[in-house]
Amino acid sequence: MPGDAGGRHAGGPGGLNPPASVTDPPAIELRGISKSFGPVRANDEVSFSVPKGTIHGIIGENGAGKSTLMSILYGFYRADQGEILVHGRPTALPDSLSAIRAGIGMVFQHFKLVQNFTVLENVILGAEDGPLLGRSLRRARDSLTALAREYGLEVDPDALVEDLSVGHQQRVEILKALWRNADILILDEPTGVLTPPEANHLFRILKGLRDQGKTILLITHKLREIMEATDTVSVMRRGRLVGTLRTATTSPARLAELMVGRKVLLETVKAPARPGPILLSAENLTLQDEHGVERLKSVSLTLRAGEILGIAGVAGNGQSELLSILGGMTRPGEKVSGRLTLKGRDLPLSGRGADGKSRRQAGIGHVPEDRQNAGLILDFTAWENTALGYDDDPAWARGFLTDNQAIRDDTARKMQTWDIRPPIHTLAAKSFSGGNQQKLVIAREFEQDPDILLIGQPTRGVDIGAIEFIHKQIIALRDQGKAILLVSVELDEIMSLSDRIAVMFDGRIMGERDPATTSEGDIGCLMAGIAPARIPEQTPPGPTAEAP
């Protein structure tokens, strides 16, 4: 539970919001912004204003036009129509430089940092004082320490960005914006890559910034974050602004309804699992990466037909490596050992027969964690992506050549059944929203009717409507008697979908829990590497059985 949950509403305790905001012109005001891409109206007469010193949320499904709107605000796109007022002055934002000059800073969902630069170097990049860096670096160091004190944005200025955790990298992005004197901060899906504690910390930082008079625009599709962090919220649907509400006087259900345009089931409903025989069993799986670091340490698990095994854990604790072994995605330099059996037959762990194609032929489908770099080829069309991993399917062969028309027809049909929008199979995968990209992958993998399905982060960057749909499909697949291994960093998702939960920490499985009898706190402890089963920990009697 975040400690400051009580202070989330606008004008909260002690009147932290300066009353000046009543007389000040709004920090940002949009008047009738419209933007079309060809026949698609991405933004249609969007108007709202954000008072200075508030956190304003913008929520909407993927493809609702949030990102387009923010791109207009940051000068990436030019609006076809409409006017933008910054602090009451009409401002033209033809490029991002003018946005920066107008005091607008942007924190992107995918960070724009130079990995092998230090924090300090990244902060001054593009905003150096002159050809020699010494002065800028000194100045940045001073103001970074000041900013860190003021807002709780502690980051080691000399650390290399590549060594930082994702949460810290995000702080660097915020510092970058502040160093450029931004007083309006736009954050695009900032918690997509964060763990729950990191997200809570981020919200504390944002509230601190707000209390110092900064204005914050928070774009997200997560209702909980809107409720937790914002003062006011605008809901977008299909390019239109369907309402601006005070967060304090609304509810998640109401927001969800506005977003989707109908009532949404926020809770997942599922019948109890009826587990069948063990389909997949792994014994002592260990993976050593190219540098000799053990990423996966003796992981054993079993997976039965008709059940969902959820793997909980903070990102980077071996879940990806586990999926990569099971799905046949290990890299040449990685060393894998252990034993993997599928329906009693041994599966090879490396070399021939351990690649993705062999795994698929063995009946293991895989919705990978990283859909942009593994699950899809973004430059390929939707129909070409339908053949990814199944390019030697005999149904699509015509002599030496492939029957492209058959793949196209199949894709068109999948787009219908899975409601993938827009239903244009010749469109490049990168042109689809996150949710629809995920549906492309899910349609492909689910329809191959695998016995075992590996699913990594099924709803990362996916909107509510699609989440509901994807969750239903996963449960439906389980009810058909398939075995499902679900890896997710979203604890909610793990808790609501899984029939069993295994928690990973530092490459090991810390413990297994029954979601019906466990609590988030219990799982949270395991995620942090604390084994709560041995609570009397006052004086450890000799070496404990479980490593930390």
Binding site for another protein (CB under 8 A): 36-38, 77-78, 80-81, 327-329, 331, 355-360, 366, 368, 370, 373-380, 384, 387-389, 391-392, 397, 400-402, 404
Kindly report the number of other CB atoms within 10 A of residue 461's CB atom.
19
Q: Which is nearer to another protein, 70 or 235 (CB)?
A: 70
Which one, 3 or 94, has the nearer CB to another protein? 94
Q: Are the CB atoms for 215 and 52 separated by under 8 Å? A: yes
Of the pair 263, 331, the CB lying nearest another protein is at 331
> Which of residues 379 and 449 has its CB atom nearest to another protein in the complex?
379
- Return the C-alpha torsion angle 230, 236, 237, 240, nearest 10: 170
Place of tokens 């895989």: 366
The answer to whether 483 and 305 have CB atoms below 8 angstroms apart is: yes
Q: How far is the CB of 461 from another protein (least distance, A)?
A: 17
State the minimum distance, in angstroms, from the CB of residue 526 to another protein: 29
User: Minimum distance from CB of 407 to another protein (Å)?
Assistant: 10
Beta strands in 289-359 (DSSP E): 294-304, 308-312, 335-342, 345-346
Under 8 Å between Cβ of 457 and 368: no
Output the smallest distance, CB 319 to another protein, in A: 16
Give the shortest CB-39-to-another protein separation in angstroms.
11
Classified as helix, coil or strand, 432 is coil
**HSE, side-chain direction, 13 A CA sphere, residue 452:** 24
Residue 38 or residue 543: which is nearer to another protein going by CB?
38
Q: How far is the CB of 432 from another protein (least distance, A)?
A: 15
Strand order across the 89-90 sheet: 40-50, 28-37, 81-86, 89-90
DSSP output for 130-188: SSSSHHHHHHHHHHHHHHHHHHT----TTSBGGGS-HHHHHHHHHHHHHHTT-SEEEEE
CB of 426 to another protein, least distance (A): 11
Of 379 and 514, which CB lies nearer to another protein in the complex structure?
Answer: 379
Nearer to another protein, 235 or 362 (CB): 362
**Locus of tokens 């900032």:** 190
Q: Quick check: helix, strand or coil at residue 203? A: helix
Burial (CB < 10 A; 0-12, 13-18, 19+), residue 482, is: buried
| Residue placing its CB nearer to another protein in the complex, 41 or 141 | 41
- Residue 176: which of 93, 132, 117 has the closest Cα? 117
Q: Which is nearer to another protein, 151 or 396 (CB)?
A: 396
What b-and-e string marks burial along 158-184, b requiring 16 or more CB atoms within 10 Å of the CB? eeebeebeebbbbbbbbbbbbbbebbb
H or E stretch including 382? Answer: helix 382-386
Give one word for 418, left, alpha or beta, with left for phi > 0 and alpha for psi -120 to 50. alpha
Minimum Å distance from CB 329 to another protein? 5
Closest distance to another protein from the beta carbon of 389 (Å): 4
Work out how close the CB of 69 gets to another protein at its nearest, in angstroms, rounded to a whole number: 16
Is residue 422 reached through a cis peptide bond, with omega within 30 degrees of 0 on the bond before it? Answer: yes
Question: Nearer to another protein by C-beta: 57 or 365?
Answer: 365
Query: What is the b/e burial string over 8-19, where b = at least 16 CB atoms within 10 angstroms of the residue's CB?
Result: bebebeeeebee
